[in-house]
Amino acid sequence: MNKESENKAIIINEYSDGYYIFNDRAYINNLNNSVLTGKTLIQISRHRLDDLKIFLSEDAFIYRVLCEANNNEHYIDWLDTGYSVEINGLSCAHKKIIKKYFSNGVLTIKAGGPTAADPIFVDKSDTNKVLIYKEK
């Protein structure tokens, strides 16, 4: 596995049961997969620090799964979905799912942290609707 500074790859896939949440760890969701199945998973490294710039070709909800050990202040205007999952890692467990509606266009999405990046899902099953801007 590469160090975070070298691991900039982002993989976009339609999520299904047992899929790895991060591109550099074998962490899976252990609870309530039905709430994530069919959503587009933007798979980033577990300890990513850099913001992510994405393009949505259509309006969509973006979902984040939070870890209590992180600083979650930048999600203050996001909505609680009322759903929980269980993505266990060594440094924290991601459990609470929140969402926010975004209009189409270019968005800057925070990775999460500082303990671990927060998983990113988009309410689209067509992965062509979400594009990632190449990093420098």
pLDDT digits (tens, 9 = 90+) for 55-100: 888 889 999 999 999 999 999 999 999 999 999 998 899 999 999 9
The DSSP symbol for 135 reads P
* Residues 101, 26: Cα–Cα separation, whole Å: 29
Span 4-30, average pLDDT: 84
Instruction: Name, of 15-19, 52-56, 93-97, 128-132, the range with top average pLDDT.
Output: 93-97
Asked if residue 1 belongs to a domain, the reply is: no
Residue type, 73: E
Nearest to 98 by CA among 54, 65, 55: 65
Asked if residue 6 belongs to a domain, the reply is: no
Per residue in 20-63, pLDDT (tens digit) is 999 999 999 999 888 999 899 999 999 998 899 888 888 899 99
Asked if residue 100 belongs to a domain, the reply is: yes
Domains identified in the chain, total number: 1
Q: Which residues contact 85 (CB under 8 A, 6 or more apart)?
A: 29, 30, 31, 32, 33, 35, 36, 65, 94, 95, 97
N- to C-terminal Cα separation, the chain: 20
Structural domain range at position 94: 11-132
What pLDDT, on the 0 to 100 scale, is given for residue 125?
56
Asked if residue 84 belongs to a domain, the reply is: yes
Asked if residue 4 belongs to a domain, the reply is: no
Query: Is residue 1 scored above 80 in pLDDT?
Result: no
Asked if residue 66 belongs to a domain, the reply is: yes
3-state secondary structure of 58: coil
Asked if residue 3 belongs to a domain, the reply is: no
